Structure 1
Amino acid sequence: MPLANALGKNRYLSVLRDAFMLAFPLTMFGSIVVVITNLPFLSDSTKAMLTELLGNGQNATMSIMTLFVTFGIGYYLSKSYDVEGIFGGAVSFASFLILTPFVATAAGGEEVSGVLALDRLGAKGMFIGMIAAFLAAEIYCRVTKRGWQIKMPEGVPPAVMKSFSALIPAVLTLSVFLIINAVMTGVFHANLHDVVYEIIQKPLTGLGSSLPATLLALFLVQFLWFFGLHGQIIVNSVMDPIWNTLMLDNLEAYQHGRELPHIITKPFMETFTVGLGGSGMTLAVVVLLAFVLKKKQYKDIGRLALAPGIFNVNEPVIFGLPIVLNATILIPWVLAPLVVTTLNYLVMAAGIVPPPTGVSVPWTVPIVASGVLATNSWLGGALQVVDFFIVALIWYPFLRALDRQKENPILKIKTRQEPGSEV
């Protein structure tokens, strides 16, 4: 618990989580555009026309997600230090762009200068963007805290005063990144984008896309929830950068008609774990409580939790059954997500069900609909139905045992009354 609390309260993990949430509405909009332009019943010519007309909706949101994340990191980290957030965000954003090569490769292999490649603003640039944003915001905040600012006299408009106060910290921070980029380009004839991508991002995403690492993350989520700690917030703050990067890789491949490179992505985790009733895939549990178990207390809990459970909100059953600190159901609580996730991975690896395309589906979308949207195939929804019954099968004997338990008798405490005393 001390470790879990430390992770949950860590400044940098909290900032990273908030930065990705800043980009969430934009990625959702881009995902809707991708769904519209790739509906399965459309002809290729119609898809091409829709992509030409609506494609910028996705290019301006999901394809450049790293830009929004870098700004968010700078903004929220500055706010955590009680420094003006908007300038911290702008400086982090600009620092990332300083390290970004303004060169792109055309279709014929010719390099074109003065342009930014979309992949460097999306999946490929995600980790260098996060590193640059954190470093830039730290430098900016530390310089600001030292008081190295231009002080304007009273009566100057607040906007002008804040701009001049940010001038020296911003110039010093951006100069550091300009020097770093100059050294990389002039001395090593390379750029930090490619270095970080090859040394850090590829190994991390390779690890994060593996089934063992995913099962370990799921186990920790379930284990922490058992003690009443929000496992997803704690674990996902570490794993989300990796899963989001894998999501963008899949989306890029999907747009260009290539084979999807990853099975484990953020949409996979949202759709085929949380999308089955919330953390622990408890929609099947709620249905069993409401319609199969006999005790009134469990029926009432199930029926109260059914409506939010359909939209993958399961706090009513986690704390109402309760699942928290309930040793009787610890085994299915931990086991069911691991079994179902392993099955889903193997089914997708075998090509029976297509993996998620990279489209971001809100975690509140009900079962079947979320599976179809995530995979662009009815097979995704069918797999969720299979998952539902597997979870029910795993949980059923434990819930029946819980249903048969007798109520704890009221403990009667006997007291010995001394002569002449009052009890």
Structure 2
Amino acid sequence: MNTFIDKLSEKLLPLAAKLGENRYLLVIRDAFMLAFPLTMFGSIIVVLNNLPFFSSELQGTLNSLLGNGQNATMSILSLFVSFGIGYYLSRSYDVDPVFGGAIALSSFLILTPFFTTTEAGEEVGGVLTTARLGAEGMFVAMIAAFVAAEIYVRLTKRGFTIKMPEQVPAAVSRSFSAMIPAIITLGFFTLLNALVTTALNTNMHDLIFTLVQRPLLALGSGLPATLVALFFVQLLWFFGLHGQIIVNSVMDPIWNTLMLENLEAYEAGEALPNIITKPFIEIYTVGMGGSGMTLMVVIMMAFVMKSRQLKDVGRLAVAPGLFNVNEPVIFGLPIVLNATILIPWLLTPLVVTTFNYTMMNLGIFPTPTGVAVPWTVPVFFNGMLATNSVMGGVLQLIDLALIAGIWFPFLKALDKANLRDDIATSTTDSVNS
């Protein structure tokens, strides 16, 4: 077993390290984290507006009074992501990031239709809809931002800038320096938009949605792709690498877009289109004690197992585990490179996620609404908030029982081995004394 793990480690660690250091994946991660506080505020507004014990009249009143809290945050998430990508990508090249972000945002808007069609089929110009700035426009925003930032950076580094005298204020000098790269970049996107509009008789949003976004969302919303992602999260953690940062940097654009689709449907009173979303992944994996769903594991270690090591580590890890921080058990048990518990570590998230998906797909338990819940909210409460139903928390309690059933035989075996070591150590100490 150890030989297999060593060989796997030799192959996997270099690849994981490269992914973890990839410039573009890091930029995507940082861009979504830039929007995270705004997403959290928008989620709070959605929860307040739709508390289940409020009457429909009160909910309607709250939506009219507080609805802009969501409209100006979660509903236009693509704007913040496009700016964040431009900002962080430019900064990674040591080029003025503020102008990189502004140019990326403007490039995205150039590709965005400024019109909408009414129910009567009438086209109204001069209108930006939240649909284009939310889930529907996410992939256009990301692609446009990356391309725009790359053009801006390369033009800047090759000296296509206006140099101002030293006595000119810094803000003015930076503005002139970015002028030529900005004009060329925005000119490129203007011509691209004109080409797509005239030659293909469509717009970039509809084109990207059909060719790129819809297939990726269909893949990412399925159970098989989700299980593969979770498997690699667990496997990377087993080797001491932060699996979530590495895997989520690839999957977050898909999961976040699916989340926004659910939120839009929830706000419109429609059936939720997706089971797997960012909240589903967060609440029903990390939200039960951290990566690997280890809250029940540390509870069993602290109060069921008998060996001193497991009890001490479990009692130390219970309090952080309640708030979904599980580094104490990952490195204290340890889980890292511990072949004894490799099977439950890899298997548990796959089994529990499959169970949860099935229960939600059958309509037995509610699907997350698209509201983002802070990852530190304890189990049961985060399930309630994510689904706007107490049954979302009940499902987590069932999950904890499943986790206990999977882990118990392996923990018991480890406990017996530790007890034998404790007895041997005590005997040796007695002889030596």
Using the size of structure 2 for normalisation, the TM-score is 0.94
CA distance in 1, matches of 2:24, 2:159: 23
1:212 lines up with 2:212 in the alignment: no
2:323 is aligned, of 305, 311, 328, to 311
- Please name the residue that 1:325 is paired with: 337
1:154 lines up with 2:169 in the alignment: no
Matched residue SS, 2:206: helix
Deviations 1:316-367 (A, max 9, x none): 1000000000000000001111110000000000001110000001111100
1:211-290 aligned at under 5 Å gives the runs 211-290=223-302
CA distance in 1, matches of 2:46, 2:204: 31
CA distance in 2, matches of 1:373, 1:336: 24
CA distance in 1, matches of 2:122, 2:242: 50
Deviations 1:117-171 (A, max 9, x none): 1111000000011000000000000000001110000111110010000101111
Matched residue SS, 1:124: helix
CA distance in 1, matches of 2:197, 2:41: 36
- Please name the residue that 1:344 is paired with: 356
1:90 is aligned, of 83, 98, 102, to 102
Deviation at 1:19, TM superposition (A): 0.1
> What is the one-letter code of the residue matched to 1:117?
T
Deviation at 1:297, TM superposition (A): 1.6
Deviation at 1:295, TM superposition (A): 1.1
1:165 lines up with 2:177 in the alignment: yes
- Please name the residue that 2:368 is paired with: 356
- Please name the residue that 2:86 is paired with: 74
Deviates more, 1:182-191 or 1:272-281: 182-191
1:122 lines up with 2:156 in the alignment: no
Deviation at 1:107, TM superposition (A): 4.2
- Please name the residue that 1:3 is paired with: 15
1:41 lines up with 2:50 in the alignment: no
- Please name the residue that 1:294 is paired with: 306
Deviation at 1:47, TM superposition (A): 0.5
2:29 is aligned, of 1, 13, 17, to 17
Deviates more, 1:270-279 or 1:296-305: 296-305
> What is the one-letter code of the residue matched to 2:204?
L
CA distance in 1, matches of 2:125, 2:166: 46
2:69 is aligned, of 57, 72, 82, to 57
Matched residue SS, 2:271: coil
CA distance in 2, matches of 1:105, 1:386: 46
CA distance in 2, matches of 1:401, 1:109: 68
> What is the one-letter code of the residue matched to 1:50?
L
Computed over aligned residues only, the root mean square deviation of the Cα atoms, in angstroms, reads 1.0
CA distance in 1, matches of 2:200, 2:310: 66
CA distance in 2, matches of 1:362, 1:105: 37
- Please name the residue that 1:407 is paired with: 421
Matched residue SS, 1:125: helix
Structure with the larger helix share? 2
Matched residue SS, 1:151: coil
> What is the one-letter code of the residue matched to 1:232?
Q
> What is the one-letter code of the residue matched to 1:217?
A
- Please name the residue that 2:4 is paired with: none
- Aligned residue pairs total 410
1:27 lines up with 2:39 in the alignment: yes
CA distance in 2, matches of 1:244, 1:352: 24
CA distance in 2, matches of 1:351, 1:316: 36
1:366 is aligned, of 340, 353, 378, to 378
- Please name the residue that 1:104 is paired with: 116
Deviation at 1:188, TM superposition (A): 1.9
% same residue: 67
> What is the one-letter code of the residue matched to 1:31?
S
- Please name the residue that 1:418 is paired with: none
CA distance in 2, matches of 1:321, 1:387: 22
CA distance in 1, matches of 2:156, 2:308: 61
Note the residue ranges of structure 2 that are not aligned, 5 or more in a row: 1-12, 426-433
Deviations 1:232-289 (A, max 9, x none): 1111100000000000000000000000000000000000000000000000011011
CA distance in 2, matches of 1:254, 1:93: 28
